[in-house]
Structure 1
């Protein structure tokens, strides 16, 4: 597995594993032993990576964020808030532009096959899990302002309610006008939360989102 850890990221992680487990064309190939070995290798690599992330968080980053100091990675509480706020902003942006925006495509050309985790029928579920996790982060960041916290919570609940009305786990029926409208409304609900986060939560924390990897060059 040591050699496998050096291969391209495209051949590693949960999406590579999803392809091996759920892609019909790949499953039809006549190489079951190789297929099984590859699944085991990728699974072991995911487990090792997950363990490294957990270890780095519990042993290093969590403590650095809880205890900022001039000679540490985070030198002040403001820098910690900036990092958490950036994570919130980037998470909402990714959900809107990638998890929802990519399959939406354009009105004339929706791209349902670009939906995240469509092979395993988890596209909609990933949106749900992301919104729930980001809502928890928002609650923590807005705890000093009850009115703002309630406003944000209602925004998340609205988006989640709209998502629950969508009976299409992979966004496969985006060619149908009703489905497209529903997904578009979900995206608009997420963007409404993004607007509150940017216009109200950021200033209340005296931070801005800054740039992230989704912004490009």
Structure 2
């Protein structure tokens, strides 16, 4: 989902194509490879036994593997990520679409390849989460329509993972690596490729602070824990940590120097998250629990600032620049 635009200026220092290579080789490509592997296990598990208790562990493992690359909105992920993780969903499109499919017993659930044509609200992790974790859906039997739907969504998720992996490892990685070369119309200079990856780091941290934490926090008078990401599967806090770790991993891959301030900022995020007792922020209605979530939100913002000062500034990128502007 798109984030608010932050005002800014930007100028880049010397080219650093080697650091783009490092980001691809150390973080991005291994991330998509691991995600495809875990998605394959999830699809195989669901095909063998569609019941929530069987699918749940493979679902969690696949979601863990997704998080290192979940916030990339670049190249094939610019649109490809949306049908893997359709969230936030404030209007409840996922619930409504799944309810309709089940009520009508739409035959698309028995066509895993054709399932790619279904609305993105009924695809990916959050559709699967609702079916296997929401009591309104999860009491289904083997051989039921919902069972078929779980199997189809898991298979479709695997297909999406394979497609993203292939697109990144093939054409788009080559496009990033050849930035500035004759014929590269996507990145006209080496600096543009570096900036494009750097913007993903800050956008991810903004998204985590404003959405993953901001939505369940709501306001003091009106906290909204029901809006937490992946609350049904109890992943809300975990996703915050994994997203922060992913941003740190990509940032340090771009840097070829020690980053002690950034490393310490990540440790602060991890420590703050460990103090939160409710895995889905369901206790933010309590003032003390809310305070702990706010401290975590501050730690995420501090990680962003550390990356700006320790990595971005060294590349000549002005702190506070528009993290949505990859051009």
TM-score with structure 1 length normalisation? 0.89
- Residues 217 and 293, structure 2, Cα contact 8 Å, conserved in 1: yes
- Hey, what does 2:300 align to over in structure 1? 190
SS of equivalent residue, structure 1 residue 178? helix
- Hey, what does 2:121 align to over in structure 1? 10
Segment of structure 1 superposing worse, 9-18 or 67-76: 67-76
- Residues 81 and 207, structure 1, Cα contact 8 Å, conserved in 2: no
Is 1:98 paired with 2:211? yes
Segment of structure 1 superposing worse, 26-35 or 87-96: 26-35
Give the direction of change, closer, same or farther, for the CA distance of 1:211–1:125 in structure 2 (3 Å limit).
closer
CA distance in 2, matches of 1:56, 1:173: 41
Is 1:164 paired with 2:274? yes
Is 1:71 paired with 2:183? yes
- Hey, what does 2:173 align to over in structure 1? 62
SS of equivalent residue, structure 2 residue 278? coil
SS of equivalent residue, structure 2 residue 219? coil
Question: Any stretches of 5+ residues in structure 1 without a counterpart?
Answer: none
CA distance in 1, matches of 2:202, 2:286: 31
SS of equivalent residue, structure 1 residue 75? coil
**1:211 positional shift:** 5.0
- Residues 74 and 80, structure 1, Cα contact 8 Å, conserved in 2: yes
**1:93 positional shift:** 0.6
Is 1:116 paired with 2:226? no
Give the direction of change, closer, same or farther, for the CA distance of 1:101–1:137 in structure 2 (3 Å limit).
same
* Count of residue correspondences: 210
For the aligned residues, what is the CA RMSD?
Answer: 2.0
CA distance in 1, matches of 2:143, 2:224: 32
**1:37 positional shift:** 0.5
**1:207 positional shift:** 3.6
Q: Which of the pair is proportionally richer in helix?
A: 1
- Residues 236 and 281, structure 2, Cα contact 8 Å, conserved in 1: yes
SS of equivalent residue, structure 1 residue 27? coil
- Hey, what does 1:25 align to over in structure 2? 136
TM-score with structure 2 length normalisation? 0.60
The answer to which structure, 1 or 2, has the higher relative contact order (CA under 8 A, 6+ apart) is 2
SS of equivalent residue, structure 1 residue 137? helix
CA distance in 2, matches of 1:183, 1:111: 13
Give the direction of change, closer, same or farther, for the CA distance of 1:32–1:98 in structure 2 (3 Å limit).
farther
- Hey, what does 2:148 align to over in structure 1? 37
- Residues 78 and 207, structure 1, Cα contact 8 Å, conserved in 2: no
CA distance in 2, matches of 1:78, 1:102: 34
1:166-210 C-alpha deviation (Å, 9 max, x unpaired): 121111111111110000000011111223334553332234653
Q: Please, which of 159, 173, 180 is the counterpart of residue 283 of structure 2?
A: 173
Segment of structure 1 superposing worse, 176-185 or 196-205: 196-205
CA distance in 2, matches of 1:122, 1:92: 17
